[in-house]
């Protein structure tokens, strides 16, 4: 098992190399002259040349690449033009906010999508099946930023149920001492339930907007996979053996149907990490997504580069996690090779 996990880790290395090359290419094909940009508006020809030398931009590309990789290995992603901080520091500080949001969204999506998909699969052609199909198709069509705005309008502006959709915590709540970086958990750990509730309140709308986006593929997959499993030979066997309906559906059906669902979690993460950027923008969420948008709009190159690398690394790690989860639930993968 440990050896298998190590092997999966090793298999992620080519992807990692690919990611680093692509980000390097992206960052070095930038239009305009970064040296002129970094030297500032009042730069002279000499100061630009000096900046270029300082940034190593006068070196041949392979050398630049090696320098870039060397810096990355040391965790040096450069300095953000906007904040003046090292990019890594900025990202590390903002990451928990994004993580917390994504996690809640994922939980929401799973809790809604999996039962919906199962329910539809067990009663194919029924009204619940059509409802599932309708919901899934509709949810897939709603851009997360639009859903977010509709939810804000209805639940904040009209009904007043939701707190002001700005940031992770209203200004008058104390920020709990950071343990996990998740405000909801940290507040509970600090014994401050009012703050925990407030943080949760801030999370609900963005998490739902984000989760709705992941709902469609999850429900669709659950339904398809459960229908496939229910039509398979071993379910017929289980029924022919007269096993109780509950055992047939859950022990035999559901557990098998879950395998493909676990498999698409990687794709779901891709969806969530992307939509995260938009949602954070709408809700003024101080995560890495809104950081990236700001960086993109102000051409803060080091920050963009750092963000893309970080997202890719994160995504690779998440996929690795999905693979390991897969090994745990599916004996065939575990013994494979």
Q: Which of residues 240-269 bind other proteins (CB under 8 A)?
A: 240-245, 247, 251-252, 255-256, 259, 269
Give the SS3 label for residue 86.
Answer: strand
Binding string, 53-82, against other proteins, x = CB under 8 A? ------------------------------
Rounded least distance, CB 251 to other proteins, Å: 7
Token digits of residue 204: 């609900």
Rounded least distance, CB 276 to other proteins, Å = 8
Q: Measured from the CB of residue 272, what is the shortest distance to other proteins in angstroms? A: 8
Q: How far is the CB of 21 from other proteins (least distance, A)?
A: 8
Quick one: 16 or 49, whose CB is closer to other proteins? 16
**Residue in the structure block whose two tokens are 């948008």:** 293
Residue range at the interface with other proteins (CB under 8 A); choices 2-10, 39-47, 193-201, 229-237: 229-237
CA R_g for the chain = 24
Site for other proteins in 138-167 (CB under 8 A): 138, 140-146, 149-150, 152-153, 157
- Using CB under 8 A as the binding rule, the residues of this chain from 182 to 221 that contact other proteins are 220-221
Between CA 34 and CA 43, with CA 38 as vertex, the angle to 5 degrees is: 110
In a 10 Å sphere around its CB, with 0-12 CB exposed, 13-18 middle and 19+ buried, how is residue 140 labelled?
middle
User: Which residue lies nearer to other proteins by CB, 162 or 189?
Assistant: 162
Distance CA 282, CA 31 (A): 29
Part of the chain binding other proteins (CB under 8 A), chosen from 17-25, 48-56, 89-97, 185-193: 17-25
| Count of Cβ atoms closer than 10 Å to residue 233 Cβ | 7
**135: nearest Cα among 215, 209, 221, 208:** 215
Residues 90-129 interacting with other proteins (rule: CB under 8 A): 125
Can residue 335 be called a binding residue for other proteins (CB under 8 A)?
yes
Beta carbon of residue 4, minimum distance to other proteins (angstroms, whole number): 16
Element (H, E) at 209: helix 193-230
Decide if residue 16 touches other proteins (CB under 8 A): yes
Q: Verify binding: residue 285, other proteins, rule CB under 8 A.
A: no
Cα 75 from chain centre: 21
**Whether the Cβ atoms of residue 287 and residue 278 lie closer than 8 Å to each other:** no
């Amino acid at each position: 098992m440990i050896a298998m996990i190590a092997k999966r880790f090793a298999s992620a290395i080519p992807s990692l190399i690919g990611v680093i090359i692509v980000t390097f290419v992206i960052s070095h094909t930038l239009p305009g002259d970064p040296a002129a940009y970094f030297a500032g508006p009042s730069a002279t020809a000499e100061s630009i040349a000096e900046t270029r030398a300082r940034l190593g931009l006068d070196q041949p590309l392979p050398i630049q690449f090696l320098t870039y990789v060397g810096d990355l290995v040391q965790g040096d992603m450069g300095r953000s033009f906007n904040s003046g901080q090292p990019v890594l520091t900025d990202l590390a500080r903002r990451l928990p906010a994004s993580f917390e949001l994504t996690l809640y969204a994922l939980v929401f999506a799973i809790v809604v999508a999996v039962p919906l998909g199962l329910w539809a699969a067990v009663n194919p052609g029924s009204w619940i099946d059509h409802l599932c199909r309708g919901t899934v198709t509709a949810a897939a069509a709603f851009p997360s930023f639009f859903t977010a705005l509709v939810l804000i309008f209805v639940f904040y502006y009209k009904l007043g149920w939701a707190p002001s959709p700005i940031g992770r915590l209203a200004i008058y709540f104390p920020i709990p001492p950071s343990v996990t970086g998740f405000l909801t958990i940290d507040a509970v750990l600090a014994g401050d339930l009012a703050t925990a509730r407030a943080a949760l309140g801030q999370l609900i709308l963005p998490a739902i907007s984000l989760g709705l986006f992941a709902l469609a593929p999850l429900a669709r997959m659950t339904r398809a996979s459960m229908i496939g499993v229910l039509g398979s030979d071993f379910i017929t066997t289980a029924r022919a053996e007269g096993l109780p309906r509950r055992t047939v559906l859950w022990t035999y059906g559901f557990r098998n149907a879950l395998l493909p669902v676990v498999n698409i979690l990687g794709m779901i993460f891709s969806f969530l990490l992307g939509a995260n950027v938009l949602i954070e923008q709408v809700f003024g969420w101080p995560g890495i997504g809104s950081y990236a948008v700001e960086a993109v709009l102000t051409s803060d190159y080091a920050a963009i580069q750092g963000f893309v690398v970080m997202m890719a690394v994160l995504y690779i790690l998440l996929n690795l996690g999905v693979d390991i989860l897969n090994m745990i639930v599916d004996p065939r993968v575990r013994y494979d090779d």
